[in-house]
Chain A
């Protein structure tokens, strides 16, 4: 087996698996505007699997609700995530997983920015630049091998 980048990650307790928010039936949403808030975004990404460990991004404290900013009115979402270690080579992949999850689940009107939380990765600027370059993201998603890895991480997302 290959050596893990972070061999011994700290594990945090995940909140109850179902959302704290009351579940709204799809029928009710047909006519009303579906308001999106940070909790909703968090619920979409917390159960994504880490590419290395059989743990969720929430369990590794990679994603936190307080690190998500949403303006429904301005159609904007900013997700900041925290790699488990500052030299994590998986940071771009984790960010890509978050982006793909939101691409698939959020209404198209949203502009999503994803970035590493300030000061938590040694190549912060490079990772952020790549994650927010739509052309690179589009090309990455046409790479079947990479897409398979992303889909594996997203398989646990509920």
Chain B
């Protein structure tokens, strides 16, 4: 039986934890909270994954709740998005265990910044806000950030932004119940697709390892899996805009979470999807090729969309993962080294590290 075993509970935040993000290459976790701080947690003994310590507390950079954190792809910088409408860029001193210093503050959003994300190459940063806009920033030398584009097609708050794992393609999720896909044409950013289907706020999105699928988590208590169909696709799905792929919902996972789902993470290592939300439960799902005829009791959604015959299985459901508290964030470790690690953050102010055991 697959299991999710708790390795560590990290305490120190004095308010709810909104977001937890792994360093791209090292066993280091950044978390942010309503207590207006970021905490950096490091594994102290590579042989014993239950041993962690808080090495840094980033204070004073923001006047209000820090809603999200994101490491740059090279791990040298950490971006923080705050309800104070700004985005902070932090850098660690040369020394491995040195202090973090705020080296830049990005201003422009009219109110709360909800989410930030670095593109794969590290050349672009995206931010989004309650002001309904998504901003694309170019990362320049000497900690200079130039705003390339302000995208204003969402009709309500933008809750989250996520970059494609390999391409310069951005997805955004909104209180307007849609997801939008953004691309650039010679530095001119435009909305390439709008994904309708959720009945309420879309809180979170994440791409699969290939970037051909996207999972979304919503206040409508469902997860949806979307697939990209390229022009001329063998399945014959129509791509109405010339040269432009379309995204189509190929599976809906309903009847699992029974309150709002706040976070979803699609492992880039083993492809398992983790989701969590206001029902206090962490769930792990796996999409596998459909085994026609072989009825399996744990199949909770399947699709017969052209070219995408797969079943979604529920692997694990961990109730009360943060006691009776909402879980606001789940994040898989980003590489092979500890690909079975999952971090979570909740309204109890705690951060937890879990290990996924598949057998």
Contacts and interface: CB of A to CB of B under 8 A. Distances in A.
Interface of A: 75, 108-109, 111, 129, 132-136, 138-139, 142
Contact of B130 (A111, A139, A142): A139
B67 A135 contact: yes
Nearest to B16: A138
Closest 3 CB pairs between A and B? A109-B324, A142-B64, A139-B83
Contacts of A142: 64-65, 83
21 contacts: A75-B324, A108-B324, A108-B347, A109-B323, A109-B324, A111-B259, A129-B201, A132-B219, A133-B201, A133-B219, A134-B260, A134-B278, A135-B114, A135-B159, A136-B157, A138-B34, A138-B83, A139-B111, A139-B130, A142-B64, A142-B83
Contacts of B65: 138-139, 142
B268 to A, nearest CB: 26
B152 to A, nearest CB: 20
A129 B203 CA distance: 13
A142 B324 CA distance: 24
B325 interface: yes
Given A139-B83, A139-B130, A108 B64 contact: no
Contacts of B200: 129
A129 B34 CA distance: 22
Interface string B311-324: 00000000000011
Given A133-B175, A134-B326, A135-B159, A111 B64 contact: no
- Which secondary structure dominates where chain B touches chain A? loop
Contact of A111 (B67, B157, B278): B278
Contacts of B260: 132, 134
A129 B202 CA distance: 12
Nearest to A113: B259
Residue of A132, A134, A135, A138 with most partner-chain B CB within 10 A: A135
B206 interface: no
A106 to B, nearest CB: 12
A28 B172 CA distance: 51
A77 to B, nearest CB: 13
Contacts of A139: 64-65, 83, 111-112, 130
Contacts of B278: 111, 134
B294 to A, nearest CB: 36
A114 B284 CA distance: 30
A141 B349 CA distance: 18
Nearest to B111: A139
A135 B329 CA distance: 13
B68 to A, nearest CB: 11
A108 B201 contact: no
A136 B129 CA distance: 11
Contacts of A75: 324
Contacts of B219: 132-133
Contacts of B323: 109
A43 B347 CA distance: 26
Contacts of A111: 259, 278
A53 B80 CA distance: 42
A82 B333 CA distance: 47
Contacts of B201: 129, 133
A139 B114 CA distance: 11
A133 B111 CA distance: 16
Contacts of B175: 129, 133
Given A75-B324, A135-B159, A139-B112, 15 more contacts: A108-B324, A111-B259, A111-B278, A129-B200, A132-B219, A133-B201, A133-B219, A135-B67, A136-B157, A139-B64, A139-B65, A139-B111, A139-B130, A142-B65, A142-B83
Contacts of B324: 75, 108-109
Contacts of A132: 219, 260
Nearest to A76: B259
A57 to B, nearest CB: 26
A93 B52 CA distance: 43
A102 to B, nearest CB: 15
Nearest to B63: A142
A135 B114 CA distance: 9
A139 B66 CA distance: 11
Contacts of B111: 139
A108 B157 CA distance: 27
Nearest to B114: A135
Nearest to B278: A111
A111 B320 CA distance: 13
A24 to B, nearest CB: 22
